[in-house]
Amino acid sequence: MITEPQVYDWLDEVKDPEIPVLSLVDLGVITRVDIGQNSVKVNMTPTFVGCPAIDYMKQDVVDVLTKHGVEKVEVNVNFDTQWNSNMISEKGRKALKDFGLSPPPKHNLIVDIDILEHAECPNCGSTDSVMKTPFGPTACRSIHHCNSCQETFEQFKPL
Amino acid sequence: MNTLALKELLYKIADDQLILGHRNSEWTGFGPLLEEDIAFSSMAQDKVGQSQALYQMLHELGEAEPDTVAFTRNANQFHNSQFVELPNGEYDFSLIRHFLFDTAEALRFEMLTKSSYEPLSKLAKKIQGELRYHTMHANTWIKQLGSATEESISRLQNSLDEAMPYALGLFEESEFETELIKENIFAGEQALKEKWLVKVKEVLSQTQLLLPDLLSITPKMGGRKGTHTEHLQPLLDEMSEVFRIDPTAEW
């Protein structure tokens, strides 16, 4: 019999294709799993509506669960739960930081310019930084400059 | 629920997003600053992605596949406003269009979070959060350049005057307006336009730009009903070139 913790454990192997240290579970995009007789239905929600990685993630979920012997895997991408960056777990935040990407600050679901301006530099830990642009190399990243160590860094942007 | 009314609403929003997304993408490699190049490219990706989600919703209501809908229609089958199909022009025009359009779009999705059509209200909640970055970007630049130098102010003012008749065309009413409002699918173009004017005036009041006298302007209508400028068909031809060569191509 498959259990829910077991499925979440398996899904921890599936990483974000653009940030390969962060699992989909820690990213918070797995919103629900429904377990049947040797079948699993995974509900997912995209970080950004236009995220081009969502199809890869879907396929990876199918591949990993199939590898663990689940006969029927269904992945349902929907907006029943809307993703926001507070849904990234503590483990995920640490993984982001170790990867060199500043984790998004926790917020009250209203992102304003003040939140964006206070990114912590993942290289030296300084909060003396300035946002260069909220639009980075992917939909989920913003670009900042650290006034302490003079490095440019990216942040997983708050949403 | 009046499905025809709902579909017409979804088509016009999705078509606006797709076409402006494509126009924004034309800045890739040509932005006046590297950051602006990236910003317009990133917003293009958001808009095209959002249009896809709306076409997917239409597909679930019985319309064709998203790619088919996006790439096989002719100009007269598109419901986008004429505003979004106009060429990018100089950066000042693109910036003004971005400001006027995204302000309206953010408010439209905010209104749609209360839609009685649940899939739409859920998607709108999601998109609303993303659009905050777009309006923040537009407002920052309008405030800076709208009170910077004589040249930046006069350029933006000219573009604002030129854009306004087209921007007003965003609020062209649907033939289903009454049904949409009555069934609480969408509170209507008139309500949106009022909210939009408040917001636009609020931002412009922090600059030296002047809102043109709206009473003396004839809005450029017709886009919602398939009447377009000469600029739409060439854009569609370019957008759909690969799809038309081989619709079954796998990437």
Give B83-106 pLDDT, tens digit per residue.
999 999 999 999 999 999 999 999
Domain parsing of chain B, residue ranges? 3-245
Looking at residues A97-105, what average pLDDT do you find? 92
> Which superfamily is assigned to A4-77 in CATH?
Fe-S cluster assembly (FSCA) (3.30.300.130)
* A1–chain B nearest CA distance, Å: 34
Query: What CATH number should be reported for the domain whose range is B3-245?
Result: 1.20.1260.10
Burial B10-44 (b: 16+ CB within 10 A, else e): bbbbbbbbbbbbbbbbbbeeebeeebbbbbbbbbb
| Percentage of chain A modeled with pLDDT above 90 | 72
Q: What pLDDT was estimated at residue A136? A: 86
**Residue B198: pLDDT band with limits 50, 70, 90:** very high
Q: What pLDDT was estimated at residue A110? A: 76
Average pLDDT, chain B: 96
pLDDT at B44 over 70: yes
**Residue A144: pLDDT band with limits 50, 70, 90:** very high
Cβ contact (<8 Å) for B49 and A50? yes
Measured between beta carbons, the chain A residues lying within 8 angstroms of B140 are: 113
Pairing assessment for the beta strands A129-133 and A141-146 based on DSSP bridges: antiparallel
Q: What pLDDT was estimated at residue B72? A: 94
- Reduced to 3 states, what is the DSSP secondary structure of residue B218? coil
pLDDT at B172 over 90: yes
Write out pLDDT tens, residues A14-65.
Answer: 999 888 999 999 999 999 999 998 899 999 999 999 888 888 999 999 999 9
State which H helix or E strand residue A22 sits in: strand A19-23
Measured between beta carbons, the chain A residues lying within 8 angstroms of B129 are: 82, 84, 109, 111, 159
Measured between beta carbons, the chain B residues lying within 8 angstroms of A51 are: 49
Cβ contact (<8 Å) for B137 and A135? yes
At residue A129, what is the residue type? S
Between A105 and B14, the more confident residue is B14
Average pLDDT, chain A: 91
Domain parsing of chain A, residue ranges? 4-77, 99-156
Write out pLDDT tens, residues B221-249.
Answer: 999 999 999 999 999 999 999 888 998 88
Q: What pLDDT was estimated at residue B251? A: 66
* B190–chain A nearest CA distance, Å: 27
* ipTM of the complex model: 0.87
Q: What pLDDT was estimated at residue A139? A: 83
Which residue reads 């990243």 in tokens? A141
Closest-CA residue in chain B for A113?
B136
Q: Which residues of B touch A (CB under 8 A)?
A: 35, 38-39, 41-43, 45-50, 52-53, 119, 122-123, 125-127, 129-130, 132-133, 136-137, 140
Q: What pLDDT was estimated at residue A1? A: 81
Q: What pLDDT was estimated at residue A65? A: 96
Looking at residues B3-10, what average pLDDT do you find? 97
Size of interface A-B (CB pairs under 8 A): 73
Structure tokens at A41: 């239905």
State which H helix or E strand residue A76 sits in: strand A72-77
Q: What pLDDT was estimated at residue A53? A: 87
Burial A94-114 (b: 16+ CB within 10 A, else e): ebbbebebbbbbebeeebeee
pLDDT at B70 over 90: yes
Instruction: Say if A56 is an interface residue toward chain B (CB within 8 Å).
Output: no
